[in-house]
Amino acid sequence: MSEQVQSLKSLTLFCKVVDNYGDIGICWRLARQLEREHHINVHLWVDDLHSFQRICPDVQLNTDTQNVHGVTVHHWLDQNGTFASEDVSDIVIEFFACDIPPAYIQAMAQRQPRAVWLNLEGLSAEAWVEGCHTLPSPHGSLPLTKYFFFPGFNSKTGGLLIESELEQQRQQFVSDPATIAEFLSDLGLSENEINALKISVFCYPHAPATDLFEAWKNNATPITCLVPEGVATEAVQAFTGQPAAAGSVTTIGALTIRVLPFVPQPDYDKLLWACDLNFVRGEDSFVRAQWAGKPFVWHIYPQDENLHHVKLNAFLQCYGVNTDKLAAMMLAWNGVTPLPIQWETVWHALAADMPRMADLALQWQQQLIANGDMTSNLLKFAHTVHQQSVNNEQK
């Protein structure tokens, strides 16, 4: 462990699951990286163990407190509970402004030295994020200050979650065709499916997936579409005419749709690496698609008054120049483009641009790596806040 974070040895992370797998996906990656790479004693409070278990099968559903891969996991049942100051960690993180138990906050106010309290915010490329990153927010009645910490796409933000060994693992995987084929074969793919253009689809239920399936079935070359069980269920069933259960496979025209079982996080990364194009959603899979170094289409989490359209356009502006074909697909996929949409035209334009999109994806990946990883950046900031607090108490 680096000298600058030795004084911060414990961390509590509160997570309320709103976006099914995205919220817990991010928090679990963060918790695991803190424990494995920085040797932090992590307590993860999460309210939805069912969603957690889908991405980490080792999670037990009927256990209030359990150790999962070195992380102490607490089932966050309600806002009640009794906490003492010794229950409070050195760092306390509320993910995406979730309300942590009032008794825990009271215990934070009794703790000496004060815990570093962070609100880990959602990811956005909007310019205002840079000005709000690390801003303090004093508590209204207690001697506590919370700080906003924003992930982001440049050095003026906290960067993105990435494990130290991930890029090496990715390069080893993509450089070995036999390993890729074995991984896909283990998921049930036939040789023909493996040799086709492979597209993973992870989207929200309102995505126009059926329209895209119709375009893909008329493609000049075979397409294998890989959809996790429980995702785009109605669209898959409407197109294939059969239940969208894990293991089901249907070929219509050039398109083969295979429904995959939900896989643990490490295997999802491999799926992204193995595919030629990835449709992803929310934040967690969106970030992993960027680390995959492959072309991707983002389905952003919907917000009232179409505020998500602003976020989508902000990302497209920072992602890179000459992305009009990719932008056209993302805007159509997210319902920004006025109807009717000529899906075959949008698809063929993107397909023809895929080699250049692949190069751009790798360039973008290197740009992100230069910003440092979010977990290390977060710990460095927490140390700075902690040191300032210690200095103030000594005056």
Is 393 an active-site residue? Answer: no
Q: What angle do CA 86, 87, 88 make, to 5 degrees?
A: 90
- Amino acid of residue 217: K
CA–CA distance, 29 with 265 (Å, rounded to integer): 9
Strand order of the β-sheet with 249-252 is 249-252, 255-260, 223-228, 197-201, 277-281, 296-299
Tokens of residue 192, six digits: 């023909």
* Dihedral in degrees, nearest 10, Cα atoms 54, 59, 63, 64: -90
CA–CA distance, 242 with 231 (Å, rounded to integer): 15
Are 283 and 122 in contact, with CB atoms under 8 Å apart?
Answer: yes
| Cα separations in angstroms, 319 against 8, 119, 142, 255, 274 | 35, 26, 41, 30, 22
CA–CA distance, 213 with 393 (Å, rounded to integer): 63
| Cα separations in angstroms, 294 against 212, 274, 363 | 19, 9, 10
Is 130 an active-site residue? Answer: no
Catalytic entry in 23, 47, 193, 353: 23
Token pair 């889908």 is found at 54
CA–CA distance, 342 with 214 (Å, rounded to integer): 11
SS3 300: coil
Q: What angle do CA 298, 268, 227 make, to 5 degrees?
A: 65
What is residue 66's DSSP assignment? E
State how far Cα 25 lies from the chain centre: 6
Catalytic entry in 163, 269, 283, 373: 283
Helices 343-352 & 324-333, crossing angle to 10 degrees?
140
* Cis previous bond, 340, omega within 30: yes
Catalytic residues: 23, 283
